[in-house]
Structure 1
Amino acid sequence: MSGLSLETIPEQIGHEAKRLILDSLGCLIAGVDCEIGTIARNMAAWFGGHSRATIAGARGRGSVLGAIYANARTANALDFDETFPVGAHFGSAGVVVALALAEELGLSGPQVLLATIAGYEAAGRVASYIGPVVHIDNARVVGFPDVWGVAAPVVIAAAAATAKAHQYEPALFEQAIGLAGSNAPLPVGAQWSSAIDLPNCKYCDAGWCAVTGTVAALSAQEGSRGFTELLDSDRGLARMYGVANADSSLITADLGRRFMLEDITYKPWPSCRFTHYALTALADLMRELRPLAVNSIREVVVETGPLAASARFTNPEPVTFASQQFSYPHMIAMMLLEVPPGPAWFDPKYATDLTVLAIKAKTRIVQHPRGGQFAETFVRNQIRTMPGGITIVTADRIYRAESDYARGDPWSPTYRFGDVDILDKFAALVPGEDGAELAEAIMNLEHEVSVSRITAALGRASARTIRQCA
C-alpha cells in the first residue's frame, strides 16, 4: 500500500476511482438538505480549528476534521452510495478524506486519485476478510449472526487514504492501520437489524468512522503506536466483528494485480442494497408493462431473501427517515409512482399521500424459493447473487419477474453501470452548470493541478441544493 503508484495501477482502475468520486459527491450533494445532512453540518462546527476544507451545504469552509465528519456522514445519508459486496459502504469515506486533505496539503488531482484508490483497496481487502454479515446453516443463509458490524472497513478506508495522502512509509502505514482498526466503533449490527423504527445513526455513523480513521493515521505520525498484528491474529479484527473463521489470506491475495475497485457496486435507488435484487425485477417488469396503471394493481408480492425479510424491511408505515430506506412497501410505492430516485423518495408528503398509502397496503413480502442459497455463489468471500422477485396482480392478469443480480453489479453484463449510467445518476442528483463542471473536473482528475475547481463547484452545487429545498 505504501508503494502504490499511479504508474503501477491499471488504467481502468484509475477510471473506476473517478467514477467512485463522482458517485460519492453526487450522493453528498443530494443529501445536504435531509435531516442527517443538517445534523452533520451543525456537528462540524464542534471540531473547531482553521477553516481550510469545504463542507457541502455550508456557507463557509470548516476544519479538516469537521469537513471529513460532515461530508462522510452526509454522503451516506440517503443510502444511495456505493456498496462493496459484503453489505458495507466505505467508498465515500476515502473520497471525502482525500478531498479534505487535498485542500489542507495542496495535493494535486493525481494525488487525490491515488489516496482514494488506496482507501478503497485497503478497506475492500479488510471487508473481504471479515466477509458478508450472514449466518449460514447447512449451506443456507438463514439470517444475521449475533455479533456483526460494518464500521471497521469505513475506518480503514479513511486511515489508508490519510496515510497515502501523507505518503507514509511502510512502517508508519502499518501503524495507521493498526490504530484505526483497534479504535473502530463497536459492531452494532445486531441492534440495527432488530430495530423497526430505525435511528438516523444508521448501521454506523460514517462521519465518526471517517474521523476515527483519519485521526488514527495522523496520531501514528505523531508517535502513537498500535497493534501491528491486528489483521493476523486469531483474536484479530475479524474475530472482534463476530467472525469465527476469517480468511486472512484474502487481505493479500493477488495484491497489486487485482483491485477491490473491480468489485464495486453502484446503486440506482436510495435504499439498502439487499433490496435491489427485487427492485431490479420490478424495474424490468415496469419497463415491460409500460404504461402501468397503478390504480389497477390489486397486490404486489415481493420475493426476497432472509437478509431483507425482517420487520424493518416489511414495515408498511416507516415513521423515521432511515426506516424509509429499508421499507419494501415504501420503495415499491416510490418506484410504481416513478418518483425520481434520490431525496424525493423521502419527502414528508408521502407519509400521508393516499395513493402511496394504498400501494403500501397492497404490498406483501415473502421468501424467494432460492433466497437462502446465495452463499453458494460467494467469490472471495463476497456476495455475487441474491435472488429476488416481484409479482404484480391486476384485475385480469398476474405478472412476475425475478433477478439473481441487481442493477449496478459489475459482474453482470446486463446490469453493470457504464459511464453513461454513472453520469446520468450524477446529473439527476446535481443538475445545472455547476454539476456539469464538477463532473468534467472529476472525470479529468489526473490532469488537475489542484482540487480548487472541484471544491468550488461542490460548494456552489450544494449551496444551490439548500436554496432550492428551502
Structure 2
Amino acid sequence: MTLSFADFASNLTYDDLPEAVLQVLRRSFLDTMGVAAIGSTTEMSEAAYKGATAMFGVTSTGPARVMMRGTELSPAGAAMANAFTVDSVDAHDGTSHCKGHAGSAIFPALMAVADAEASLGRPVDGKTFAMLLALAYEVSYRAGLAQHATCADYHTSGAWTAVGVAVAVARMLGLDKEQIRHAAGIAEYHGPRSQMMRCIDFPTMLRDGVGWGAPTGVTAAYLAQAGFTGAPALTCEGTEEAHFWEDLGQAWRLVEDTHYKPYPCCRWAHPSVDAVADLMRDHDLHHSQIASVNIKTFHNATRLAGHAPATLDEFAYGIAFPVATMIVRGQIGVPELTNDTLQDPDIQRISKATQLIDDPHYTKISVGKRWAEVSMTLTDGRIISAAPRTPRGDTDMPLSDQEISDKFHLFTDPVLGRTRADEIEALSTDFDALNAGDLMRLNELCLTAP
C-alpha cells in the first residue's frame, strides 16, 4: 500500500533513515554552512537582513538568530534572512530533476526554529534534526516534481520548498497528522510561485525564491499550530500528483537527486566552465592565446548569456562571464566574487568573444542533466574542442568528501577564520550523532557573528 505523505511525515524516525540519506545530509550541512559564511558578506545578504529586521521582531515563539550575525528575530524573520544569505551565493546543493535547490531553504528555516525552540527549553538533538532535514528534503523534492509536472510556468524553488519546510517545522513543533496536512496546504497556497526564467532573463537579488519560501513554510507551521486550516496541499495529495509519492518511505529522492556545486554560479554554466578549465590545462594555454569561445548548449541556458554583468547577481546567472573568468583566473572562488572582477579587462574581452549556441539536440536531452559542448579558437587560428559533458557533482560524477571540505574552507576561512571553520566541519560532518548540547554548540558557531 502506498504510504500517504501525512503518515510519512508524522511517523518518520531517525532509525528509518538509511546511511545513504545521512551521508547526503552530512555533506549538505557542511556545504551549506560554507555558502552561508561567504554569503553573509554580500550586499544581498545585508539588504535582506535589514528587511527581515524591520518586519519580524521577537515574539512569543522565542528568538531565533540570523546566520553569521547573531541578531535575534522571530523564527520566520531569521529563516528569511538566513535563506537570502545562503541564496546570495549560487553554490549550495541542488536537484536537477526539480530544476532548483532545497537546502538553501531547509537549513536556514530549520536552524532558525530549532534555535527558537532551544531558547524555550526545548532543544533538538542530532538524531531528531537529521530526521527533520530528511523529511523536509523528501517532501520538498516530491512536491517540486509534482509542481513542475502539473504547472505550466517554471516556478522557483521557494514554491515547493515552502511545503517541505512547513511539514518539517510542524513535526518539530509536535503537531499531529492533520495539523501537518494543514501546514503543508497553507505553505503550498501561500508559497512564492515566482517565475524562474524572469530572474534568468533579468538577474537581480530575487534569485531562487527561497528567501520567501523558507519563512512561508515556517509561518505555515505556526499557523497550523494555532488552528489555521489549509489542507490539502495538491502537490502532496492531488490525484494527478499521486505517482510522485508512490514509493515514499521506500526510495529516497534526496539520495538519488541531490547534487553539489564546485563553482558559485548557475549550474547550467558548470559543464562549460569545466570544459574550458580542462582545455586550458591540457593545452598549456594562457588566456592571451584565446581568440573566441563557442558553447553549444540547451535553450534555457542560452538565456543566461551574461556577457557583460554589471552586478554579482548577473555574474551568478550567466555563462559567458563565468567561463571567461575560469579561462583568465583558473578558478571561480572568493576573490572572483567581487565587483573588481566585473571590471577585469581580460575577462571582459573573452566574455564578449564567447558565443552561446541554442542547440536543439542538447535541449532535447537536457532533462535531469545539463549538457554543453565547448570549442575555443586560438589566436594562431587553431580550434580546440572538448567532448560534450554534464556538470560534476551529480550522482554519476560526485564531488568527493575532500572536494566538499576544500570548498567549505575556501568560502569559510576568510570569513570566520580557520579555527572556527574546523570546529564547524568537525561537528557538522557527524551532526546526527550529537546530543542536544553539542548541536546547540554547532548552531552557535553558525548563528553568531565572526
Q: Distance in 2 between matches of 1:12 and 1:341?
A: 30
- Report the CA distance shift for 1:178/1:322 in structure 2 as closer, same or farther (over 3 A): same
Is the 8 Å Cα contact of residues 277 and 404 (structure 1) preserved in structure 2? yes
Offset, 1:216: 0.5
Q: Does 1:67 align with 2:69?
A: no
- Report the CA distance shift for 1:339/1:44 in structure 2 as closer, same or farther (over 3 A): farther
Alignment of 1:162-181 (within 5 A): 162-181=169-188
The match for 1:49 is 58
Q: Does 1:400 align with 2:385?
A: yes
Q: Distance in 1 between matches of 2:77 and 2:344?
A: 38
Q: Distance in 1 between matches of 2:322 and 2:196?
A: 22
SS in 2 for 1:257: coil
The match for 2:211 is 207
The match for 2:160 is 153
Deviates more, 1:431-440 or 1:40-49: 40-49
Alignment of 1:413-428 (within 5 A): 415-428=397-410
CA offsets per residue over residues 353-400 of structure 1, 9 Å max, x none? 22122121221111346212216xx5xxxx1x2320111211343211
Structure 1 residues not aligned, in runs of 5+: 135-144, 237-245, 465-470
The match for 1:319 is 310
The match for 2:16 is 8
The match for 1:458 is 446
The match for 1:386 is 370
Q: Distance in 2 between matches of 1:152 and 1:124?
A: 11
TM-score (norm 2): 0.88
Q: Does 1:230 align with 2:234?
A: yes
- Report the CA distance shift for 1:247/1:399 in structure 2 as closer, same or farther (over 3 A): farther
Offset, 1:184: 0.9
- Report the CA distance shift for 1:157/1:343 in structure 2 as closer, same or farther (over 3 A): farther
CA offsets per residue over residues 15-42 of structure 1, 9 Å max, x none? 2111112111111111111111111221
Q: Does 1:355 align with 2:340?
A: no
The match for 2:286 is 293
Q: Distance in 2 between matches of 1:392 and 1:399?
A: 5
Is the 8 Å Cα contact of residues 89 and 264 (structure 2) preserved in structure 1? yes
- Report the CA distance shift for 1:38/1:261 in structure 2 as closer, same or farther (over 3 A): same
Opposite residue 83 of structure 2, the aligned amino acid is: A
RMSD: 2.3
The match for 1:218 is 222
- Report the CA distance shift for 1:296/1:283 in structure 2 as closer, same or farther (over 3 A): closer
Offset, 1:232: 6.6
- Report the CA distance shift for 1:9/1:349 in structure 2 as closer, same or farther (over 3 A): same
Opposite residue 205 of structure 2, the aligned amino acid is: N
CA offsets per residue over residues 139-198 of structure 1, 9 Å max, x none? xxxxxx6564443112112212202322332222111111110111233235334x34x2
The match for 1:467 is none
CA offsets per residue over residues 227-246 of structure 1, 9 Å max, x none? 32523777x9xxxxxxxxx6
Q: Does 1:253 align with 2:246?
A: yes
Q: Distance in 2 between matches of 1:97 and 1:44?
A: 13
Opposite residue 386 of structure 1, the aligned amino acid is: R
SS in 2 for 1:209: helix
Is the 8 Å Cα contact of residues 299 and 360 (structure 2) preserved in structure 1? no
Q: Does 1:265 align with 2:252?
A: no
Offset, 1:275: 2.0
The structure with the greater share of residues assigned to helix is 2
Q: Distance in 1 between matches of 2:26 and 2:260?
A: 13
- Report the CA distance shift for 1:107/1:131 in structure 2 as closer, same or farther (over 3 A): same
Is the 8 Å Cα contact of residues 298 and 362 (structure 1) preserved in structure 2? yes
SS in 2 for 1:301: strand
Q: How many residues are paired up?
A: 425
Q: Distance in 1 between matches of 2:445 and 2:153?
A: 44
Q: Distance in 1 between matches of 2:371 and 2:334?
A: 27
Structure 2 residues not aligned, in runs of 5+: 1-8, 118-122
Offset, 1:292: 2.2
Q: Distance in 1 between matches of 2:76 and 2:155?
A: 27
Q: Distance in 2 between matches of 1:178 and 1:233?
A: 10
Offset, 1:436: 0.9
- Report the CA distance shift for 1:335/1:174 in structure 2 as closer, same or farther (over 3 A): same
SS in 1 for 2:387: strand
Is the 8 Å Cα contact of residues 298 and 395 (structure 1) preserved in structure 2? yes
Q: Distance in 2 between matches of 1:209 and 1:417?
A: 28
Deviates more, 1:117-126 or 1:38-47: 38-47
- Report the CA distance shift for 1:160/1:337 in structure 2 as closer, same or farther (over 3 A): farther
- Report the CA distance shift for 1:107/1:332 in structure 2 as closer, same or farther (over 3 A): same
CA offsets per residue over residues 263-291 of structure 1, 9 Å max, x none? 101111111122223223233333423x4
Q: Distance in 2 between matches of 1:285 and 1:128?
A: 36
